[in-house]
A and B are shown apart, each in its own frame.
Chain A
Amino acid sequence: MSARTNNTQPWDAVVIGGGVMGCSTALHLAQGGMRVALVDRGPLCREASGVNAGTLTLHMTRAALIPYAMRAWQMWMEAERWLGMGVLATGVPGLTLAFTDAECELVEVRAKARREFGAPIEVISPQRARQIEPGLHPSLLKAGYCEIDGFASAYLTGRAFRHALTRAGVTVFENAPVEAVDSGDGGHAVRLAAAAGLAPLRTRRVVLAGGVWIENMLAWLGVNIPVKVLINQLVVTERIRPVMRTVLSVASGLLSLKQFANGTVLIGGGWQGEGDRERGGVEARPQNLVGNMRLAAYAVPALSEARVARIWLGLEAETADAMPIIGDVPGASHAWVIGSAHSGYTSGPFMGRILAQHILGQTPELPLFDPARLLGMPMPGA
Chain B
Amino acid sequence: MSAPVPLDLLVIGAGPAGARAALRARSCGLSVLLVDENPGAGGQVWRPLPAAFERRGDAPPSPEARDGDALRHELRRSGVKSLFGHKVWNIGSDLRTDVIGPDGSRSWHPRALLVATGTTERVVPFPGWTLPGVIGLAAATILLKSQNMLPGRRTVVAGSGPLLLAVANGILKAGGEVAAVVDIASRGEWLRTLPSLTGRPDLVWQGMQWQWRLRAAGVPVLYRHAVRAVESAGNGFGVRIGPVDASGRPLERAGVERVWQADAVAVGHGLVPGTDVTRLLRARHRFVRERGGWIAQADADGRTSVPGLYIAGDGAGIAGAAAAGAHGEIAALACALDLGVLDAGTHARLRAPLASQWARSARFGHAMAGLMALRAGAVAGIAADTVVCRCEDVTRAQIDAAVREGARDVNQLKAWTRCGMGPCQGRTCGDVAGALVAAQVGGREAAGFFTGRAPLRPVSLAEVAGEYTYADIPIPKAAPL
**Closest Cβ neighbor of A238 among chain B residues:** B423
**Binding stretch for chain B, among A24-32, A69-77, A197-205, A291-299:** A291-299
Contact of A310 among B425, B468, B474, B476 (CB under 8 A): B425
A121-160 near B? 1/0 per residue, CB < 8 Å: 0000000000000000001000000000000000110110
Say whether B475 contacts A238, CB under 8 Å. no
B462 (CB) vs chain A CBs: closest residue: A304
A63-B481, A155-B415, A286-B92 as given contacts; A271 in contact with B455, CB under 8 Å: no
Interface set, chain A 89-103, CB cutoff 8 A to B: 99-100
A282–B480 CB distance below 8 A: no
Indicate if B59 sits at the interface (CB-CB under 8 A). Answer: no
Return the CB mask of A211-241 against B: 1 if under 8 Å, else 0. 0000000000000000000000000011000
**Separation of A50 and B412 alpha carbons in the complex (Å):** 10
- List chain A residues, Cβ under 8 A from B473: 291, 294-295, 298
Q: Is the CB of B479 within 8 A of A308?
A: no
Identity of the chain A residue whose Cβ is nearest the Cβ of B281 in the assembled complex: A283
Chain A nearest CB from B297 CB (Å) reads 20
Given contacts A62-B481, A155-B415, A286-B107, contact A308 B464 (CB under 8 A): yes
| In the complex, residue of chain A having the shortest beta-carbon distance to the beta carbon of B415 | A155
- For residue A163, CB closer than 8 A to chain B, the reply is yes
- Contact across chains for B460 and A308 when beta carbons are under 8 A apart: yes
- A247–B406 alpha-carbon span in the complex (Å): 32
Q: Does residue B363 face the partner (Cβ distance < 8 Å to A)?
A: no
- Chain B 394-422, CB-CB to A under 8 Å as 1, else 0, gives 00000000100111110110111010011
Residues of A contacting B: mostly: mixed
With CB as the reference atom, state the residue of chain A lying closest to B406.
A162
Are A296 and B461 touching (Cβ within 8 A)? yes
Q: A251-B478, A293-B465, A307-B459 are in contact. List 19 more A-B contacts (CB 8 A).
A: A106-B478, A113-B481, A238-B458, A252-B479, A254-B479, A290-B1, A290-B464, A290-B466, A293-B461, A294-B465, A297-B461, A303-B461, A306-B460, A307-B423, A307-B461, A308-B460, A309-B422, A311-B454, A342-B480
Q: 6 A-B residue contacts at CB 8 Å?
A: A43-B407, A62-B480, A174-B406, A238-B458, A309-B458, A322-B480
Q: Name A residues whose Cβ lies closer than 8 Å to a Cβ of B.
A: 43-44, 46, 50, 60, 62-63, 99-100, 106, 109-110, 113, 139, 155-156, 158-159, 162-163, 166, 172, 174-175, 237-238, 250-254, 270-272, 274, 282-284, 286-287, 289-291, 293-298, 303-312, 322, 342
Shortest beta-carbon contacts, A-B, top 6: A253-B479, A307-B458, A155-B415, A252-B478, A304-B462, A159-B416
Name B's A-contacting residues (CB within 8 A).
1, 90, 92-93, 96, 98, 107, 402, 405-409, 411-412, 414-416, 418, 421-423, 425, 453-455, 458-462, 464-466, 468, 470, 472-481
